[in-house]
Amino acid sequence: MSASGTAAAGQVEHMLRQVTPGRYDAYEALLRALAQDRIWMLLWHGQAGSPDAQYGNMEIDGLGYAPCVTSAQELAASGWNRSHEVVTGVDIARALFPDRWGIWLNPHAPGGGVGIPWLDLRRIATGLDRMPAGPLRLAEPAIEIPQFYALLSQNAHHTPAIRSLRRAWVQPALGVPYLAIGLDLYDTSQSSVDTVRAMMQQSIGAVPDGLPVSTVAMSDEYDPVAMWLRANARPFYDREAHAQAGPPPAAGSAYGYRS
């Protein structure tokens, strides 16, 4: 799909018409089209490329969005009489998500258009297949796997880079649910990351067959799983706490998730 051809823009607009409440598959298809296309950002102030250029802004349900349109035809239909800037979906995603701004596609259209919140811009910016499709349902894990938690805690105790571990059960909008392990590290140098990766590989053998497990960096201020873990989950392994209480129990003990 060409970023400069009208066929690409037509595909985005086609996907936009398919999006309805609950149609997460259509919404994901829209995100994929945006990741390969360009959009027309509406400038409230300044000209495209000028240092004082500012996008328009709107707030919906407490979230900020920059309005945009999906083609030159939609720009004309919108009646926008100020300047605009044509950018790729990937570039605008990279520019806006760090400040927690999303985009709103075709707000002038019947029905009000569709908003893409900043969390999904982050997925576009970093790769849609690298992160689970939202909205995510998150909860404490109900599955009882004490042997895995005990082995993981034991191995973490021997991995000095790890400060603490948390856990969550993640249900994406599309795809299979999985167990997320939140990794809180003393530092994120490459050597520390390598030792933690090796620790997870040593521990993963205790996971029951068929149970997907993923990790998330607690230092990632933009990751929705990490944000939930910081706000809602107490560590099941905490180096400072265990330093006072003694070494963690051996694998196979009752240490682990408690209802």
Report how far residue 173's alpha carbon sits from residue 49's, in angstroms, rounded to the nearest whole number. 37
Asked if residue 164 lies in contact with residue 237, where contact means CB atoms within 8 angstroms, the answer is: yes
- What DSSP assignment string belongs to 6-65? HHHHHHHHHHHHH--TT-HHHHHHHHHHHHTSEEEEEEEES-TT-TT-EE--EEETTEEE
- Residue 87 host element (H or E): strand 84-88
Q: How far apart are CA 98 and CA 95, in angstroms?
A: 7
Q: Give the Cα-Cα-Cα angle 199, 170, 99 (nearest 5 degrees).
A: 90
| Mean pLDDT across 214-231 | 96
Domains 6-130 and 137-245 fall in the same CATH topology: no
- Write down the domain spans for the chain: 6-130, 137-245
Query: pTM for the complete prediction?
Result: 0.82
Q: In residues, how long is the chain?
A: 259
* Strand, helix or coil for residue 138: strand
Strand partners, 64: 59, 101
**CATH (one of 2.60.40, 1.10.1670, 1.20.120, 3.30.300) for 137-245:** 3.30.300
What integer pLDDT is reported at residue 176 of this predicted model? 94
247 burial (CB, 10 Å; 0-12 / 13-18 / 19+) is exposed
Check pLDDT > 50 for residue 257: no
The whole-number average pLDDT for the span 154-158 is: 95
Cα dihedral 142→164→248→171 (10° resolution): 10
Q: Which amino acid is at 75?
A: L
Choose among 36, 42, 132: nearest CA to 79: 42
When pLDDT is cut at 50, 70 and 90, the band that residue 250 belongs to is very low
pLDDT of res. 242: 67
CB distance 137 to 126 below 8 Å: no
Rg of the chain over CA atoms, in angstroms?
Answer: 22
pLDDT single digits (tens) 116-149: 999 999 999 999 988 999 899 999 999 999 999 9
Enter the CATH code of domain 6-130.
3.40.1350.90
> What pLDDT score was predicted for residue 259?
25
Closest CA to 36 of 68, 4, 67: 4
